[in-house]
Amino acid sequence: MSLHFFTVKKLEDLKRCFPVMRELRPHLSYEEYLLIYQEAQKTDGYEIVAVESGDQILALIGYRFLSDFVRGRHLYIDDLVSTESARSQGLGAKLLIYAEEIAKQNKCKVLRLCTGVENERGVKFYEKNNWTKRAYAYAKKIG
């Protein structure tokens, strides 16, 4: 299988990525997806890198660069998903390596992400790929 990694720039590619993103974020409508992408891209430089074989998107990663007093400049991964049919083929691991290279090129020393406590499969995946649990993330709904 020949794989092609690319940064999504065109609306047609963003549209092709939506079914894959929806596997991770099933609550999103296409309209919400576009609006959130456009806002995150504009304010935080959010990018999506997709992996395709032929004309089929198999996996994607969404990331942005953040700076804070704890980690300095770092790459934050918001989204990482493979299609159900492409899982356990190493695409997620390849995307993490790809993100690490992007982080190095952009003078980051740390990559960060959060996953839900109920995501046992994800936790095992990250630990298998040499990620370390470092914090608890809290959220509080308002309104």
**Which residues are 74's β-sheet partners?**
66
Whether residue 136 has pLDDT greater than 80: no
pLDDT of residue 86: 87
Domains and CATH numbers, the chain: 4-128 (3.40.630.30)
Look at the block and give the residue holding tokens 């940064």: 7
pLDDT of residue 130: 84
- Phi and psi based region of residue 35 (left: phi greater than 0; alpha: psi -120 to 50; beta: remaining): alpha
Gap between the Cα atoms of 9 and 16, Å rounded: 12
| pLDDT tens digits along 67-95 | 999 999 999 999 999 999 988 889 999 99
| pLDDT tens digits along 90-112 | 999 999 999 999 999 999 989 99
The mean per-residue pLDDT over the stretch 5-34 comes to 97
Which 3 state secondary structure label does DSSP give 79?
A: strand
| pLDDT tens digits along 18-28 | 999 999 999 99
CA-closest candidate to residue 65, choices 21, 111, 122: 111
| pLDDT tens digits along 110-134 | 999 888 878 888 878 888 888 888 8
pLDDT of residue 116: 81
